[in-house]
Homo-oligomer: A and B are copies of this chain.
Amino acid sequence: MTIFFKILLVLLIPVLAEAQHPNTFFTKKEAAEVKKNLALYPLLNKSFIDIKKDVDYWVGKDVDVPFPKDPAGGYTHDKHKANYTLMFNSGILYNLTGDAKYATLVKTMMLKYAALNPTLKNHPEATSSSPGRIFWQALNDANWMVYAGMAYDLVYNSLTLAERKKIEDGAFKPEVDYFTTELKDWFNLIHNHAVWATAGVGIIGIATNNLNYIDMALKGTEKDGKTGFYALMDNLFSPDGYYTEGPYYTRYAILPYAVFANALNNSNPSLKIFEHRDRILQKALLTCLQQTNIDGTFYPFNDALKEKDYTSNELVTAINIFWNVYGPDENSLFVAKKQNRVMLNNGGTAIAAAISKNKNVPAYFQYKSFESGDGVNGKEGGVSIFRSGKNADLSSLLFKYTSHGLSHGHFDKLGIMLYDKGNEIITNYGSVRFIGVEQKYGGRYLPENKKYAGQTIAHNTIVMDETSHFNGKEEIAEKFHSEKLFSSFANSAVQVVAAKEDNAYPGTHMQRTLYMLDLPGGNKMIADIFNVRSENQHQYDLPFQYSGSLIGTTVKYKANAKKQEPLGKKNGYQYLWNVASGSVADTLVQLTFLNEHTYYTVSSLVQDTAQVFYTRTGANDPDFNLRNEPAFIIRKKGQDQSFISVIEIHGKFDPVYEFSSNAYPSVKQIKLLQNDDDYTVAEIMIGDKKLMIAQSNNNTDTKQVHSAMGLSWIGPFTVLFNNKKL
C-alpha cells in the first residue's frame, strides 16, 4: 500500500461518513465567523459589498449560458468565465446572508450547464492538444470546474435530491469523464495545467461526495500516485518552492493548489495537507513574491506577461488562504494591502482586521538577496537574485541558470536581467501575447513568442553562431540544466554568484561569474566575467537588451539611417533591425543610456577585435505583434572568448530641475591580467582608483588558498578596491 493510498483512506472515510456542506471554500463555522466580522473591518466590508453589487445585478435575471463558440476574448468565452465567478460569489453570499435568492441563482445556472454540458463536443476554436468543451482549451474548463464545484458545494444544502442528481450527472460528470478518459494523458501530466485539472476534479469530488473523483484527483487516473495532486506537490516545485516555469506560472498554479488544499483541509484537517513536504505551498508563495519587481510585477523568467502583478486574483486567493493556515506574514500583509480586497473567509477576515488596526503594515515589500534551486531535489541549477539598496531605491540583478522550464521555457542559460528603482534596465522581452485581446489570435501566445521571445538572442547571454541554446529544441533542453558553482551573499558590498553551462552548445563550456558591488564612495556596479571555451572556432554574440535612451557610446559606428534590414535570418535574429554597427579593436566599448532619472553604462573589454550592433525589434513583424525595443550586441570570434563587462548604475537626471549629475561612467579601463582555466584576474580603473577582481575558475573550495598575478586570497574569489579587500 503506497503512502498515497494510506493518506486517502484517512481522508475519505470522513467525507463519506459526514458529507457536511459547505466544505470546499469554507465551512459553516467559518462562514458564521466571517458574517460576524463583516461590519467590523472596512476592507472585508468593501470586498463583501463589491461581490454583492456584482451578484445582485444578476439576481432575478436570466443569465445566458451560451453554446460555446468564441476563442478567448470573445463573447462566449468571457461569458462562461463571468458565469463561474458569478456562481461562486452567489454561493458565498447565500452562506453569508442566508438569502435563498442567491442559492436560486446558482441553481438556475447550474441546471443550464447540466443541460448544456452533455451536448458538447470539442470547442470549435480548439487549437491545442488539450481542447476544451466549454472553452477553447481544457485548462479553462478546469477553471470552470474549480469554481463551479465550489459554487455547487456552497448551495448544496439548498438543493433537492433530484436537483443534485441533475447537476452532478449533467453539469459535472461529462466534464470529469472527458478529463479523465479522453484527456487523461493531459490530466496525468506533471504540469501546471494538471494542477488545475486535478483541483477541478477533486473539488467536484468533495462537493459531490464522489470518492472516485477525489481518488483520481489525488493519485491520477491510474490511481497509482505517480501523477495527481500529491505528485504535483512533490514534483513541480523545488524544495525552496521554485517552480520551474517561473514565478509568472507559480502565480497561475498556486490558486488551484491553494483552493484544493483548502477544500481537502476542510474535509479532513487531520490530513495536514498544508504541512505536506515541509510546507511546500507556503514556500512556493514566498518564493514567487520575492521574484517580483517593486511594482509587484513578476520577473519574466520564461514565458511571462510583464504587466501581471501580485494583485491578481490567484495571489489574493493564496495569501488569504495561507494566512489562515500559516499565520501572519509581514510581506503578505504588504501585498494584501496593495490587493485592496480580501476573500470572504477566515484569512481574509484576519487580514482585513490587521489592516484596519494598521498593525505592522510595512511601507515597502521587504526584498532580500534570494536564491532558489530548480528541480525536485533543488539540484537542477536555479536562479539567484542579487539585491542592493532598499525600498524605492532597490537594485535587483537576476541570474538564471535553471533547467528549461517545460513548454514555457526560454533558451536563456546564464541569462541576466537588471532592475533598478522599479524600472527594467537590462531586460527580457517577456512573452509575445496580448492576453484576453481577441483581435490578437484570441489572446493566445503569438507565433513570435516561440520564434523570437523564447530564443537566446532575446535574452542577455551568449549566442553561438546565431543559433539558440540546444538548437532551440525543447526536447533536448529539457534533459539538461546549468549548474551553480558557488555563491556568496554574506558581504553586502560584494555579492557573487558563479554558474556554468556545458550542454547548450555541444563541446562548449560557458561560465559566468557576476559580482554586485557597492564600492566605498557609493558607486554601485555589476562586474560580469563571462568566459566561453569551445573545441572549435565560433562566433559569439553577447546581447544587452536595454531600456532607455542611448546617450553616448565610445564605438564609432555606421548607422543604417536610410535603409534598415534584419540582422539575421533565423533563431530570432530575423526580428531585429540592424540599426547601426561598428568594428572595434583593443578598446573599452562603452554605452551609456538614460532610463527615467538614472544613467546606466555598460563597459566591456575588447582585447582583440569585435563588432558591435545596435538593434531594434520589429523586423519581420507584419502583424505588429512586437514592441520595438533596443539592444546592443557585442560579437566576437574565436575558439575561446571572454566578455568582461561592468554595468554601472550612476548619476541623476532631473528634467524638471534641468539638472544632470555623474552622467559619465566612472569606469575608465578594464584590463584582463590573466584569464585561463585556472584563474581570471581583472583590473578595472574606477576613476583613478583600481578595482581588482581575482577568481578561481575551477575550484570553489572556500578554504583553498590561491595566488595569481601577485595576489593571494582564500576561497573562490577576492575583490580589492584601492588596494583594500572589499
Complex CA gap A188/B657 in Å reads: 28
Check if A620 is an interface residue, CB within 8 A of chain B: yes
Q: Which residue of B lies closest to A72 (CB)?
A: B658
Determine the residue in chain B with the shortest Cβ distance to A73: B660
Nearest-Cβ distance from residue A652 to partner chain B, whole angstroms: 10
Instruction: Give the number of residues in A that approach B within 8 Å (Cβ atoms).
Output: 55
Whether A624 sits at the interface, judged by CB under 8 Å, is yes
In contact, B627 and A549 (Cβ under 8 angstroms):
yes
- The reply to whether the CB of A507 lies closer than 8 angstroms to some CB of chain B is no
Residues of B within 8 A of A437 (CB): 551, 594, 653, 660, 663
Cβ A565 vs Cβ B566 within 8 A: no
Convert A550-565 into 0s and 1s, putting 1 for each residue whose CB lies closer than 8 angstroms to a CB of B.
1110000001011111
A701, CB-defined interface residue at 8 Å: no
Q: Residues of B contacting A619 with CB < 8 Å? A: 561-562, 564
Segment touching B, from A274-282, A308-316, A460-468, A635-643: A308-316
Contacts of A621 in B (CB 8 A): 559, 561
Q: Which residues of B contact A56 (CB under 8 A)?
A: none
In the bound complex, CA of A437 to CA of B550 (Å): 12
Contact of A313 among B313, B657, B660 (CB under 8 A): B657
A436 touches B624 (CB 8 A): no
Q: Flag if A436 contacts B655 (CB, 8 Å).
A: yes
Asked if A628 is at the interface (CB within 8 A of a chain B CB), the reply is yes
- Determine how close the nearest CB of chain B comes to the CB of A552; give it in whole angstroms: 4
With A312-B656, A656-B311 given, is the CB distance from A552 to B435 under 8 Å? Answer: no
For residue A659, CB closer than 8 A to chain B, the reply is yes
Closest chain B residue to A629, Cβ basis: B628
Q: State the Cβ distance, A716 to closest chain B Cβ, in Å.
A: 38
Specify which chain B residues have a CB less than 8 angstroms from the CB of A493 in the assembled complex. Answer: none
- Tell me the bound Cα distance from A657 to B657 in angstroms: 38
25 cross-chain CB contacts under 8 A: A73-B660, A78-B659, A81-B659, A434-B551, A435-B655, A435-B658, A436-B658, A436-B659, A436-B660, A438-B660, A439-B551, A439-B552, A439-B663, A549-B627, A559-B621, A561-B620, A561-B621, A561-B622, A562-B620, A563-B563, A564-B619, A579-B618, A614-B624, A616-B618, A628-B628
The interface of chain A, by Cβ under 8 A from chain B, is: 73, 78, 81, 305, 307-309, 311-313, 434-440, 443, 549-552, 559, 561-566, 577, 579-580, 592, 594, 614, 616, 618-622, 624, 627-628, 653-661, 663-664
